[in-house]
Amino acid sequence: MRKSPVPILALAFLTGGCSLIPQLDPVASPVANNFPGKSAGVVSADIAWQKFFTDPRLRKLVEISLANNRDLRIAALNVEQSRAQYAISRGDLFPAIGIASNAQRQRGLGPPGSSGGNIESSSYAVSVGLVSYELDLFGKIRSMNTVALETYFATDEARVGAQIALVAEVANQYLTERALREQLALSQQTYDGMNVAYGIMKQRFDAGTVSELDLASMEVQRQTAKADLATFQQRITEINNSLVFLAGGALPANLPNGRTLDQALVAEVRAGVPSDLLYRRPDIREAEHQLRAANANIGAARATMFPSITLTASSGTASHSLNQLFASGTGSWLFSPQVNIPIFQGGQGLAYIKAAEAGKKISIATYEKAIQTGFREVADSLAARSGLAERITATESLVAAQQKRTDLATARYTKGVDSYFEVLTATLDLYTARQSLIRLRLARSINSVNLYKALGGGW
């Protein structure tokens, strides 16, 4: 029996070919070296969300949402699918070894001129060997494996980005709900006060001591507060529906009590420098992996222009009778190389390369845009933060001034110096100022959450 060539070819199967993947030069950051305004300081976005959110009710809502949110579950399943695709691609780098067996019984005519008539024959065979293995001489398979690996990394970064986005969305919805409840309480307080005042005003009107204009003005303010009550109640219901959706199910009844907006709901965050975004923001890291995948795809496209060699080889035993299948002298082997040399493809090969190179340019632009987007989001949050701090301080002073004005107007009306119109005007202005303060405190908290998200914090 001749010696099988399979062991001799083993070294060829294990040798790697060259790579046609082009060198990927670093992409220059298309943003300034520093954020505008005061942004110095150590980056604190690395703090975990459990410590960033100081409100116990909010922490519990985030925990529930991370466990049950359907969008996040889909993102995690996409990672699993991408990991499996990479495993499939990696398997192409290694020979597939298989065992084959067959048995055949046939009947046919004898040789011309023979008197034997029909002849029946049997054949049996068992073999082990390679199943159509392509030698990766020019790195096409390795390039495709790199594409699959970088795609898997990009998908995992997308999952992290989905987590950060979910945490921020839950926080923003919860903060909005906190603000709405404070606005609802303020409107209820104003409405109740207006009801009492309206009753007194109606008695005086019936007695002829106040004008109809005063009574009508009081009714306008009372109905305004009532309309605000209905609006805030509706929005609270909508926000709760949104929280239920984000949490993936009904909210438990034993949630901890939440804090008010004038208390600390979130921790303070410092921005650092723009270069920190490159390794903190998952969308930038995702774009980087997509760029590496597009670059590797060029190597795979280039490899299609070169010859490919596919091998099929086996070694085993064969005989015409089953009882002699493993007897001496029944050894067999098969070696079947196939060489495919591209000669004319109608321009497809060059078109594949041009398409891959265009895909790389698109990925570079996408990567640069991701950096610019991150820079802008952080810069906008920093700009809004300084402006909000000044506006909140000014509005707090305005509320104090309006409260003093309302007290003075009420005292003057009680003494008969001014009409009730002055009291109504002052009360309405105080109500408006207090509502503005609630909205500004909400904006400050949401700004902190958005800055935390823009810096890639939480994971």
Question: Residue 43 — very low, low, confident or very high, per pLDDT cuts 50/70/90?
Answer: low
Question: For residue 253, what are its two tokens?
Answer: 């009844």
130 vs 159, more confident: 159
**Residue 107 maps to a domain:** no
β-pair partners for 458: 48
Mean pLDDT of 382-391: 88
- Count of residues making up the chain: 459
Task: Report whether pLDDT(259) > 60.
Answer: yes
Average pLDDT of the residues in 303-311 = 80
Better-scored residue on pLDDT, 275 or 21 = 21
Instruction: Decide if pLDDT at 23 tops 70.
Output: yes
Confidence of residue 278 (pLDDT cuts 50, 70, 90): confident
Compute the average pLDDT of residues 432-442: 95
Lowest mean per-residue pLDDT among 98-102, 128-132, 399-403, 420-424? 128-132
- The pLDDT, as a whole number, for residue 237 is 95
For residue range 3-16, list pLDDT tens digits in order. 444 443 444 444 45
pLDDT tens string 74-125 = 999 999 999 898 888 888 777 777 777 777 877 766 666 655 556 777 777 7
Q: Is residue 37 part of a domain?
A: yes
Q: Is residue 361 part of a domain?
A: no
Residues whose CB is less than 8 angstroms from the CB of residue 115 and which lie 6 or more positions away in sequence, other chains included: none
Locus of tokens 């009778």: 321
Write out the DSSP string of 419-455.
-HHHHHHHHHHHHHHHHHHHHHHHHHHHHHHHHHHHT
Name the one residue in this structure whose structure tokens are 């001799």.
8
Whether residue 35 is contained in a domain is answered as: yes
Q: Which residues contact 150 (CB under 8 A, 6 or more apart)?
A: 289, 290, 292, 293, 296
Query: In angstroms, how far is the first alpha carbon of the chain from the final one?
Result: 64
Query: What is the domain extent for residue 187?
Result: 18-94+136-302+380-454
Handedness of CA 421, 427, 433, 435 (dihedral sign): negative
Asked if residue 196 has pLDDT above 90, the reply is no
Mean predicted confidence (pLDDT) in 377-393: 89
Quickly state the pLDDT bin for 65 (edges 50, 70, 90). very high
Residue 12 lies in a domain: no
Average pLDDT, the chain: 83
Percent of the chain with pLDDT over 70: 89
pTM reported for the whole predicted model: 0.81
| CA–CA dist 459, 386 (Å, integer) | 26
For residue 299, give the 3-state DSSP assignment. helix
Structure confidence at residue 3 (pLDDT):
44
Q: With respect to residue 435, please indicate whether it lies within any of the assigned structural domains.
A: yes
- Determine, yes or no, domain membership for 163: yes
pLDDT level of residue 1 (50, 70, 90 thresholds): very low
Q: Which pLDDT band, with edges at 50, 70 and 90, does 276 fall under? A: confident
Does residue 75 sit within a domain?
yes
If one counts the domains in the chain, the total is 1
Predicted confidence (pLDDT) at residue 311 exceeds the cutoff of 60? yes
Q: Is the pLDDT of residue 138 over 60?
A: yes
Q: What does the alpha-carbon distance between residue 25 and residue 343 come to, in Å, rounded to a whole number?
A: 32
Reported as half-sphere exposure (CB side, CA atoms, 13 A), residue 117 has a value of 0
In this predicted structure, what is the pLDDT of residue 182? 94
Segment 75-87, tens digit of pLDDT: 999 999 998 988 8
Q: How confident is the model at residue 22 (pLDDT cuts 50, 70, 90)?
A: confident
Exposure of 214 in the CB half-sphere (CA atoms within 13 A): 21
pLDDT at 368 over 80: yes
CA distance 185 to 178: 11
Band of pLDDT at residue 133, cut at 50, 70 and 90: confident
CATH of the domain at 195: 1.20.1600.10
Least confident of 7-16, 242-251, 364-373: 7-16
For the cut 50, the answer to whether the pLDDT of residue 258 exceeds it is yes
The answer to whether residues 143 and 303 touch, using CB atoms and an 8 Å cutoff, is yes
Residue 66's CB is within 10 A of a number of other CB atoms, namely 16
Vertex 385 angle, CA 382 and 386, to 5°:
95
**Residue 126: predicted pLDDT:** 78
Report whether pLDDT(352) > 60. Answer: yes
pLDDT given at position 442: 95
pLDDT at 117: 58
What was the pLDDT predicted at 309?
78
